[in-house]
Every structure is written in structure tokens, then in C-alpha cells.
Chain A
């Protein structure tokens, strides 16, 4: 989606798969909802939650015509009183030391975006204070009798699974229900194709810092070693990858090399993950077992897409839908629960997939125009959007119909 490209570049967001996944999710969670619903962003440490909060603000500013600023509040280590007064503001004399009226961060975020980071650390009482804000968009400054309204886009960020916390009684379910728009970030090792791109980008940054801008970056062998080691270690953090690459670059001795070869990473990988590059054959074998079929599928899809003039991503998504339907019908290890409702839902999805494929559309407008040029011939925008979202929106296995 082109609307995101500028934001990705401006914010320095690297990784083809990460870009694709997040653009779809932000489209569904923010743009499609016109920024009216509170958004919750979840992902483990180092997956880029702050960056995606900035992306949400950036895209909402440009696409929804918002003009306010991005305001962030880290909810860790804040007493309930301080949290409430920081967020809502206070009236003079509301508490000891409140010598003057003070507006809160919500006022500052007017027309913009308010990000509440590490929201899982809020006490149940503080969570309760957010209910009216998220539900009615109203709040009361501490010590005030007057309700105020806000139009800020509200974003809750957490490195823990809030649904799980709610199930365990550690987070308010009703608060969760008031933030229905979800963005879930994939750990780094599960989007392994981004690892070489990120490593190369971090290497160029570090080489620039070291005054070696002409060095070619990391060799393919080096990139393959980093990718395999991070996948094996189930590394979720992009930040840690950056640290690893910078360590390797700054440990290089002597004259600037032509490129950073794999040997430069052997020691760093051992110190980070306890394994050097002696496992290459094993990594190769594992890679073949896990990804050979996917690689063949990618090549096949590329060929079909080329022949029919369709984007590869469209075909890959459609293939995923059909594979999941097949999984529902099967009995193998990947079979998903196949109740009548589940199968009906998946069959319906497959029908939509087939229809989209038949239309050859790259976006919703093209999909609508496939049926005709007059408005009475076209499916309504809302239907086209729903089909698009069903097919290309993020899959969330925890919320499947069972």
C-alpha cells in the first residue's frame, strides 16, 4: 500500500515482511475505523511497538487529516495519582502541591495521538480510570467537576498478551473490549526473511559511524549465518540484532575490509547465543526441511503472478486461505478444529478468495469495478472492504470461529 511507503521510509522501518504485515494491520485497525476506536499494539520486547505507534500517528495524520501531536506516557512505575494527574491534568488544590491548574497529556494530544506504553503495568484502579476515556472519550481532570472530551487517537501498547492477562484476571476485560482495534507484531525469528535486510541496514549504519561508508556491507555468507543463528535462538528482538551487528563492526581490526565476512560474526554469535558457525550444515538441513516447500511455492506463485499480471502478495494470501480450508478438512498435524461453523466460515472465505482471484483486482476499487461501472452493478464499498479485510487482514487464530 503506497500510503505507507513514505511513513516507512521517514520512520526508518526496515523489513519487507514487517512492512507488509503492519501496513495491513494499520489499515484495518486505524484507517478503516477512521481512527475512532482505541488501538492496542502487542508484541514482545524489541519487536518495534514504539515504532508502530509512531507509524499509526503518522498515517492517521496524513490519511485522516489529523493535525495534533504524538504524546507518549510510559505507565511503568507510576503511582495511580501521578498517572491520573499526568493523563487527565488537575485543578489547583486537587492534592498537596497542586498550586495551579495543570492540563494533562490528553489535552496536549488533542487532534493527535496518545500512546500509553506498558499499559499492562497499570493497577486495576488506574485501568478503571481509563474505562470512560476509551468508551465515551470523556475524562475528568483531578479535582474537577467538569467532564472534558477528547478526539485523540488512543493507543495502548503492551509487551504481554492482554487477552491472556484478562483471562487470568490480571487485566480488565471491559477495558480490553473498549480497545477493539488490534495490531499484533510478529517476533523477529518468525519473520526470518527480514533478518538479512535488517542486519544489512544496521551494518551500513555502523559502518557509517565508524567512518567506513565504502565498505560493501555484510556478505551473503555472513547474512545466512546471522539469520540461521537468530532463528535457532528464537530471537524476537530487532534491538538485539542491531547490538550484535554493531558489536561485530566495531570489533573489526585494521584497515576497512571490502565487505564484512562471516568470520567477523563467529565470536559475536557465540557470545550472544552460545553457538558459532560450526552448525552450518545442520542449519542448512533444518532450513531445507522447514522452507523448501514454501520456496517452491513462492517461485511457482511468482511465475503464475507474472503470467496473469497479478501481484504476488495477492496470490500468496489467497493460497493461505485455501491452505487453511484444506487444513480444516484434513486430519493431519496441521488440521484445525473442524466444527460445522468453522467449515462454513472457511468455505465462505474460500469463495471470497476465488471471487477476488477471478476479478484480478489489486485493491478494493478494482474489485468493485470488476462487476460493472454503474453504482447499482458494483458491490457496496462496505462489502468490498469486508471481503478485502477477511482475505487480506491479519489472521488471528485465537479468534477463529470454532
Chain B
């Protein structure tokens, strides 16, 4: 891949990316032919698949090399180009509500931390790049079969009071969304990552390690941060 981060900032680029996330995640996992992509996304009509891919190629979300399609970079960075709640409904809520209602489907680690404002801003600006790099490396590792997983990391300085874990998880997401749409937006952490893994348990261990490292900075009540990780079945596109 030609560079480590591809920037997709146009409205049409965002639409292509948001509308075809499972397809993009598949191509990011490893280069694939038209037929392989069609098989993966369950669309037998190759003309339709070609049309969908053409849109992604046009926007630079994926690139074509000979007869295979691949991601332009290890990471795609994009700026939200739609309503905040719609975006939450698409990228975060399916995972968070799933973890809240069915805790056994993955892990949800909530940390209350003693971070000052500068540390909060640095955390948000860094978007857990180290963890993402480690997960990318694991995702690249060959495996007989792979499954899609989602990692969400979100945090806010508007720390909710103690409550049952599932309720607090949802309340934290709400406060994060609220902060994200106000003047303190740069202190609201919000990150969603998707990849295919052959070794889900190893990926989970990496998430736990990152959370433990963060926790070592010291407990407190100035910031709360959530790491959520689970299998993504891609059956729902989210939305309201």
C-alpha cells in the first residue's frame, strides 16, 4: 500500500465510504478480485458489484491494481459529513447497544481516569494509533478464516455518575455525543475501527492491554473512557 493514511474529506467520498463499509473493510483486509468481493458481500450480480466498486475507486476509497482491488492505505481518515446522530447510529450505536444488552458478545471496559485537559486533548488527537497499528498487524496475519470485528473507543470529560454498567455505557456515549457537538468537541474521544481477524482472542488481548496501559495513568473522576470490542455481523447498517 502506498501510504499509511488515506484522507477522505469530501461529501461524496464520505458517502461512498459510509455506504459500503463492509466492502471497504473486506478490501482493507487483503486485495480481492471482483468475484471475491461479490462472493464476500453476497451480491451475485457482478454488474451491480462493479458499479458499487467504481464509486469507491472514483472517490479514492479503494484502488485497482490489475484485476484486484485494494485499500489505498492502512488507515482511512475521514471527516464526518452527515448529522452527528445519524453517524452515531451507523458507526457506534450498533456495537455499543449490543455490548450493553448482551455483555457476553464482546468486551466493554470503562475506565475513570484522572486526566487533565491537555492530556484529554492529546488522547483524542492520538485516536489510539498505537493500538490500531497493532490490530492492523494482527489483521494482516494469514489465517484459515477471518471474521469482522469492531472496536469503538469513546470518552468524555462529562463523566456520568456510577450506575449499572450497561446504563452507564449508554449514558457515556450520550454525553460524548453532546460534548462532540459543542465547543469542547476536541476533548470528546470518538473512534470506530473495523477489521477482519483470524484470531479474535488475540485482538481482544491487544484491546485489554491498551486499556490496562491507560488505566495505569491513574484512576480519577475527570475523564471516562470506554473500550468496546466485539464481532461485527454487519447485518444492520444502523440508522434511526
Point out residues on A near B: beta carbons under 8 Å. Answer: 193, 216, 219-224, 227-228, 258-259, 261-262, 281, 283-285, 287-289, 291-296, 298-300, 302-304, 306
B81/A288 in contact, CB under 8 A:
no
Whether A284 touches B18, Cβ cut-off 8 Å, given contacts A258-B12, A299-B238, is no
Contact mask for chain B residues 170-182; partner A; CB cutoff 8 A; 1 contact, 0 none: 1000100110111
Chain B 50-80, CB-CB to A under 8 Å as 1, else 0, gives: 0000010010000000000000000000000
17 A-B pairs besides A292-B174, A295-B93, A295-B240 with CB distance below 8 A are A220-B86, A221-B14, A221-B81, A224-B83, A224-B86, A228-B83, A258-B58, A281-B181, A288-B85, A288-B178, A291-B85, A292-B88, A292-B177, A296-B97, A296-B174, A299-B93, A299-B238
Some 15 contacts from A to B, beta carbons below 8 A apart, are A219-B12, A220-B86, A222-B11, A259-B15, A284-B83, A287-B84, A288-B174, A288-B181, A289-B178, A292-B85, A292-B88, A293-B174, A295-B88, A296-B174, A300-B97
Distance (whole angstroms) from the CB of A316 to the closest CB of chain B: 12
* B-chain residues with CB within 8 Å of residue A227 when the two chains form the complex: 83
Contact B101 A303 (CB under 8 A): yes
B17 CB to nearest A CB, Å: 10
Answer yes or no: B236 CB below 8 A from chain A CBs: yes
Q: How far is the CA of A222 from the CA of B177 in the complex (A)?
A: 21
On whether the beta carbons of A283 and B83 are closer than 8 Å, the reply is: yes
Cβ of B26 to closest chain A Cβ, rounded Å: 22
- Residues of B at the A interface (CB closer than 8 Å) are 11-12, 14-15, 18, 55, 58, 81-86, 88-89, 93-94, 97-98, 100-102, 170, 174, 177-178, 180-182, 235-236, 238, 240
A-B pairs with the 10 shortest C-beta distances? A224-B83, A220-B82, A284-B181, A284-B84, A219-B11, A299-B97, A221-B81, A285-B181, A287-B85, A221-B11
Residue of B whose beta carbon sits closest to that of A282: B181
Chain A hits for B58, CB < 8 A:
258
Total A-B Cβ pairs within 8 A:
92
B240 touches A193 (CB 8 A): yes
Q: Could you tell me the distance in whole angstroms from the C-beta of B136 to the nearest C-beta in chain A?
A: 27
Bound-state CA distance A221–B82 (Å) is: 4
> Could you tell me if A296 and B170 are in contact, using CB atoms closer than 8 angstroms?
yes
Q: Which residues of chain B are near A228, meaning CB under 8 Å? A: 83
Q: Contact: B94 with A299, CB < 8 Å?
A: yes
A292 vs B93: C-alpha distance when bound (angstroms): 10
Interface core residue of A219, A285, A288, A291 (most chain B CB under 10 Å) = A288
Q: How far apart are the CA atoms of A306 and B236 in the complex, in Å?
A: 10
Q: In the complex the two chains form, what is the Cα distance from A295 to B235 in whole Å? A: 17
Chain A residue nearest in CB terms to B95: A299
List chain B residues, Cβ under 8 A from A216. Answer: 12, 15, 55
Contacts of A302 in B (CB 8 A): 236
Q: What is the minimal beta-carbon distance from A303 to any residue of chain B, in angstroms?
A: 6
Task: State whether A295 touches B89 (Cβ < 8 A).
Answer: yes
Docked pose: A285 CA to B170 CA in angstroms: 17
With the chains together, A311 CA to B234 CA distance in Å? Answer: 19
Does A285 contact B83, Cβ atoms closer than 8 Å? no
**Whole-angstrom CA separation of A222 from B14 in the bound complex:** 12
Residue in B closest to A285 when the chains form the complex, CB atoms: B181
* A299-B89, A299-B93 known; A224-B82 Cβ under 8 A: yes
**When chains A and B are docked, how far (Å) is the Cα of A302 from the Cα of B240?**
11
Chain A residues with CB under 8 A of B98: 303
Whole-angstrom CA separation of A193 from B89 in the bound complex: 13
A306 to B102 alpha-carbon distance, docked (Å): 13
Decide: A285 near B240, CB < 8 A? Known: A220-B81, A299-B89, A303-B97. Answer: no
Instruction: Note all chain A residues with C-beta closer than 8 A to B235.
Output: 306
Among residues of B, the one whose C-beta sits closest to the C-beta of A301 is B97
Q: Please measure, in the bound complex, the distance between the C-alpha atom of A296 and the C-alpha atom of B238, giving whole angstroms.
A: 10
Q: In angstroms, how far is the closest chain B Cβ from the Cβ of A26?
A: 25
